[in-house]
Structure 1
């Protein structure tokens, strides 16, 4: 199971902009049909666009902005996002959410004797753990944390086994 994130933010923003443009056009059309003064006069818009030339700076800037916006939307649609559900081994189509995966690895690192706090970051094929200890010497603590995380990874049994990197920081300095 490889669930990718939804592209709801670009789709929502595009929908809102198009809805606003359509609503503006509809309001101006109704105002013109009723014989009232429209918010935006057709003659003014047509005259301004007629006076523009392809060599004008304003035309080049508007074209560049339109191309850039189009490329951003195409890239958001085509490029895969970060997995929201990480696949697990086994016969069933199963997975673990990114949040629960990270929190269970953080709990495993924090359960090691001598660790006062732990943070875990997940990359595509790497788990980075940063632990803080109250000990003056940190000899062997990184290996113990790495072993605890490796044991938890054995229990979880992910489809792609990440490498584990551990950094230990001591809250006290060695005197």
Structure 2
């Protein structure tokens, strides 16, 4: 079971850059084999690189950009991302997808009397719910929603129980 993201965005960007470079080299090589004028002249590139000095601006900027991109890819590979499957307690290696976890908590919040709409966001150790109501008096609604979400968390039994934060938005204002 894959619990962590697969880092597909950095891998895809790296693959696209390498593929573009390889395709360009292949096109130029094929043009040279067929006796056509290549898009990029090998002689022009070789002369430009031969004439470049380490103290020039262009090699310094290119090296800085390469180092920066390398560091970004290294950080993306080493830092843990959001869990895609949230672990559940129990003897078996079980988990719930982030999407289903969020939707079941939203459904629990929506069952509370007076809640018109609910939205749940999951952070590392926090579940925050924003609920909208048509009521003018919202006293006790936040506590009722918190209790409903905590009951659902008791049923789900996550390995790491998030703290629950509730915000209530009344559609009508008091007059």
- TM-score normalised by length of structure 1: 0.95
Count of residue correspondences: 175
Q: Quick one: distance in 1 between partners of 2:113 and 2:33? A: 78
Aligned with 1:172: secondary structure? coil
- Structure 1 residues 71-86: aligned runs within 5 Å: 71-86=71-86
CA displacement 1:64-118 (0-9 Å, x = unmatched): 1101111111111111110000000110100000000000000110110011111
Q: Quick one: distance in 1 between partners of 2:49 and 2:126? A: 54
Tell me which residue corresponds to 1:102.
Answer: 102
Aligned with 2:164: secondary structure? strand
Gaps of 5+ in 2: none
Tell me which residue corresponds to 1:88.
Answer: 88
- The question of 1:24 aligning with 2:10 is answered no
Tell me which residue corresponds to 2:113.
Answer: 113
Aligned with 1:168: secondary structure? strand
Q: Quick one: distance in 2 between partners of 1:160 and 1:131? A: 24
Q: Quick one: distance in 2 between partners of 1:114 and 1:127? A: 20
- The question of 1:9 aligning with 2:9 is answered yes
- The question of 1:157 aligning with 2:160 is answered no
Aligned with 2:55: secondary structure? coil
Aligned with 2:154: secondary structure? helix
Gaps of 5+ in 1: none
Tell me which residue corresponds to 1:42.
Answer: 42
Tell me which residue corresponds to 1:56.
Answer: 56
Q: Which moved more, 1:85-94 or 1:5-14?
A: 5-14
Q: Per-residue deviation at 1:35?
A: 2.6
- The question of 1:167 aligning with 2:167 is answered yes
For the 8 Å contact 1:2–1:86, the answer to whether it is kept is no
Q: Per-residue deviation at 1:2?
A: 6.4
Tell me which residue corresponds to 1:125.
Answer: 125
Q: Quick one: distance in 2 between partners of 1:114 and 1:50? A: 75
Q: Which moved more, 1:54-63 or 1:87-96?
A: 54-63
Q: Quick one: distance in 2 between partners of 1:131 and 1:30? A: 62
Q: Per-residue deviation at 1:171?
A: 0.7
Aligned with 2:3: secondary structure? coil
